[in-house]
Structure 1
């Protein structure tokens, strides 16, 4: 009986399938686990230093889950779904969520940090040299990768190191005849070209002292001064120069009684203010509808013309009697293979009124980019030249998937070539290519390069240099948010949300009609 049990157990062990270990199996698991371990090692130290224990716990749980998933034999589908889901969240979901949340803030130039950083910047930026204060010989250096000042007292020749935390004595430093530090233990002295490359950091560094702050005066001298503006926590205000600026949490600024604010502010939640600004500000909403209308025309014209030309060329080369199709296809896809930004600049010069190739070739004197009508025609033609090779390629692939028996049967039934194309070939092409046409529409709706590198949004009317005849919503947004007034990321994000909603609605309607078309020709 015992022998029978052992024999059955042995048979069971023999029958057990062996796990086949392949190179792909080993490499995929090692690669995933190595990337996960690298991210863990990179992210843990700063999280611990910042005391972000919740984020650290989430990172640890995610790392443990990934290790369990890829070290076990189970959950095979999850091994393939998890990386794709992670990339989807990182590169699609997170940017959209971040853009929407930014649209409800005043994030931008002057509003990039918190209130404490704004106070420090205001006080450091208002430092004035104190009367009778000494002038120190300055040497820029690095300590543990961070910028530091090595200053030499002109009277005592004492060497001190200055950082944002204050001054500390430096022993064993070697000072040159010019008074600059040549070598100091624990510091890497920057050479003149290296210091010049960090000039902005050097001028921004402020070393606190008992009487004020030490700031650089050039790259070789430092002076001690006092802040003309100081923050008073009791009144939550900034005082100095005979005035007082109180904190306004709604605007993220320090504002005085006359409504004037200091240049440096902080980031706050402004609610729907950015959205209402788009709709109620007459300098913006007054032109928004016109720009939107041209934007629709440009996107639709780009898709229609590129698809028509690409399909026409593909149909011609698809004809069974056509010879030399390989050579023609190579020539036709050259615009698609060229760098788009370079070709746009070339086309801009070709449309030049004085020395452009188009005017010289046809003997014209047309100011193509100086008149609204011709400028719009020019950018559509340029986009046609850049976009039709893509439509030619996808249409060629779709045509090869359509059985020739269908068109032959239509001709046998008495259909003319035009009717066969309109009733058979075109509907089948649209079923396959409509998603690509919708994606092309979304791309051209936000085709910033085609406008910025060709017409720069112009021509502009004399009474309003803010919006041009060829401006799309994306170029108009860029000029409003990043023009002379500085970067306004919150406002730009709000308009981006509007653009996203418009494209999403149009795409959703188009996809719905596509599904109906697929049901008809299924």
Structure 2
């Protein structure tokens, strides 16, 4: 029989408990798996030169081992997964967006300066006069990922000699197991996976930048997907002077606005990403065209969010008051019907309403006998968006207000009735203050949501209608749809400028939300 302690002595946490063998095996197997995955990831990051990624991966792996390999730090065993997800899904995107806002990142400016220089030199390769042409098959090492692995050229010279061309140079290709067409194009080779036309086209950017080195000044380049030639670049880089020189014409290119630019202003097509300081922010505030469009969108953005919140709240509250009457029969059925719009996916509703607003064949014009160009006229497009958002948003407000009304004490309303207060006075002086205590913070959250209601605008009007003279700014654009168009849909996508717009959105919503929460604190006295 175990001895009974004679005094209340502190017992160390974890003592007297034997962990099952299967749990120990599972724990250490999981930790070993984490180490293996981290090691593989670090190898790839080192190969790509991402030292920040190497540091973060090593730190996370060390933290996991330190926390879960001992019985100490019990709270951290629960907090660590949440902290890692917080950093990965919240903090890192914010940091990356802020960092991007201070760069020129966008079309033509996605590479580093070194990569852009190397690509410009590779693009200048011209066929050496008198050199022979090769039959070409594009391949990757067998077993590797065809979308990311290093490219390999399987070459057949005119005399039938087969060779393998990689970033290291040319090597003979053993004929054993090699299959080729009558023209000499290799269709199968041991140790290599030959890319089909679609796979090769997907890697056209890599293919354009790739060349098999033959000498310091020559390399083998692909021309199409079935032929290659030996060529030499016409551009040479002078690291000391930081210039590119075209040996064929004598033109000297110098860095200007993140492009290699000649004295007469002609720039090479490949630019690079660089820090531009506060240029994106000053463009939004000082560039006349951008500034006019930005403030026009901002005013509509605030109006849209405010009107959406007010209209959905008023309709939801009135319906909640109507169906909160104890004398009404079948309230459960009515309430279920009213929340149906909330149960249907928003993107489906937006597409349905877009078809209903069609001027020629839409249900609204057909039933009303009107001939309104709902989506082609700027003002009517705004009305259409507000009506659609009212349909989408009132069920949520109806549910919230219904729950808040049912929590209002009945004796308070009874006391008001005894004191002679009318129904309107009871609603204004008692029910509304108590209702806003619960609903106030949700109204602020709804405002923030509608301020960035990208999906509704994009699916219903795509930000349009647009002015023929300026297709970058639409009549119903929100700041978030404007940022999306700058980043992905404009003639010259500018992700850096779009990131600056997103930072403005963040501070605008934060300021308005802070002001709203400050005001809702006054409602706490109602309780």
TM range (shorter): 0.7 to 0.9
2:154 counterpart residue number: 150
Structure 1 position 368 matched with structure 2 position 374 = yes
Q: Deviations over 1:265-306 (max 9, x none)?
A: 112111111111111111111222222111110010111111
Match of 1:136 among 134, 137, 142: 134
Structure 2 SS opposite 1:467: strand
Q: Deviations over 1:355-392 (max 9, x none)?
A: 11110011111111222221111111111111222222
Output aligned runs, 1:20-419, within 5 Å. Answer: 36-37=34-35, 40-49=38-47, 56=54, 59-143=57-141, 145=144, 146=149, 147-155=151-159, 157-172=160-175, 173-191=178-196, 194-195=199-200, 198=203, 201-210=206-215, 211-240=217-246, 242=249, 244-248=251-255, 251-419=257-425
**If the length of structure 1 is used for normalisation, what is the TM-score?**
0.88
Tell me, yes or no, if the aligned pair for 1:138 and 1:152 is still in contact at 8 Å: yes
Give the drift of 1:213: 3.1
The whole-number CA distance in structure 2 between the counterparts of 1:269 and 1:452 is: 31
Give the drift of 1:66: 3.2
Give the drift of 1:326: 3.3
Q: Which moved more, 1:157-166 or 1:13-22?
A: 13-22
Tell me, yes or no, if the aligned pair for 1:124 and 1:213 is still in contact at 8 Å: no
Q: Deviations over 1:74-127 (max 9, x none)?
A: 444333333322222221121111111111111122221211110121122233
Structure 2 SS opposite 1:502: helix
Tell me, yes or no, if the aligned pair for 1:245 and 1:254 is still in contact at 8 Å: no
* Residues 1:134 and 1:58: Cα distance change in structure 2 (over 3 Å): closer
Give the drift of 1:52: 6.8
The whole-number CA distance in structure 2 between the counterparts of 1:382 and 1:20 is: 61
* Residues 1:460 and 1:15: Cα distance change in structure 2 (over 3 Å): closer
Tell me, yes or no, if the aligned pair for 2:136 and 2:155 is still in contact at 8 Å: yes
| Unaligned ranges ≥5, structure 2 | none
The whole-number CA distance in structure 2 between the counterparts of 1:511 and 1:445 is: 16
The whole-number CA distance in structure 1 between the counterparts of 2:362 and 2:32 is: 56
Give the drift of 1:351: 0.9
Tell me, yes or no, if the aligned pair for 1:245 and 1:261 is still in contact at 8 Å: no
Give the drift of 1:482: 3.4
* Residues 1:328 and 1:461: Cα distance change in structure 2 (over 3 Å): same
The whole-number CA distance in structure 1 between the counterparts of 2:62 and 2:226 is: 52
* Residues 1:259 and 1:455: Cα distance change in structure 2 (over 3 Å): same
RMSD of Structure 2 on Structure 1 (CA): 3.3
Tell me, yes or no, if the aligned pair for 2:320 and 2:402 is still in contact at 8 Å: yes
The whole-number CA distance in structure 2 between the counterparts of 1:260 and 1:489 is: 24
| Unaligned ranges ≥5, structure 1 | 1-5
Q: Deviations over 1:142-184 (max 9, x none)?
A: 21522322111112x1222223343222223343323121332
The whole-number CA distance in structure 2 between the counterparts of 1:417 and 1:30 is: 68
Q: Deviations over 1:300-331 (max 9, x none)?
A: 01111111222222232332233333333333
Structure 2 SS opposite 1:414: coil
Q: Deviations over 1:463-505 (max 9, x none)?
A: 4333222121222233334344332111111111111111111
Tell me, yes or no, if the aligned pair for 1:165 and 1:208 is still in contact at 8 Å: yes
1:423 counterpart residue number: 429
Structure 2 SS opposite 1:388: helix
Structure 1 position 466 matched with structure 2 position 472 = yes
Structure 1 SS opposite 2:439: helix
Structure 2 SS opposite 1:209: strand
Give the drift of 1:451: 1.6
* Residues 1:484 and 1:296: Cα distance change in structure 2 (over 3 Å): closer
1:497 counterpart residue number: 503
Match of 2:494 among 482, 488, 501: 488
Structure 1 position 521 matched with structure 2 position 526 = yes
Q: Which moved more, 1:360-369 or 1:72-81?
A: 72-81
Structure 1 SS opposite 2:65: helix
The whole-number CA distance in structure 1 between the counterparts of 2:168 and 2:435 is: 68
Tell me, yes or no, if the aligned pair for 1:243 and 1:256 is still in contact at 8 Å: no
Residues matched between the structures, number: 513
The whole-number CA distance in structure 1 between the counterparts of 2:115 and 2:443 is: 48
2:482 counterpart residue number: 476
The whole-number CA distance in structure 2 between the counterparts of 1:370 and 1:14 is: 77
Tell me, yes or no, if the aligned pair for 1:152 and 1:180 is still in contact at 8 Å: yes
* Residues 1:140 and 1:55: Cα distance change in structure 2 (over 3 Å): closer
Tell me, yes or no, if the aligned pair for 2:237 and 2:244 is still in contact at 8 Å: yes
The whole-number CA distance in structure 2 between the counterparts of 1:194 and 1:187 is: 14
Structure 1 SS opposite 2:212: strand
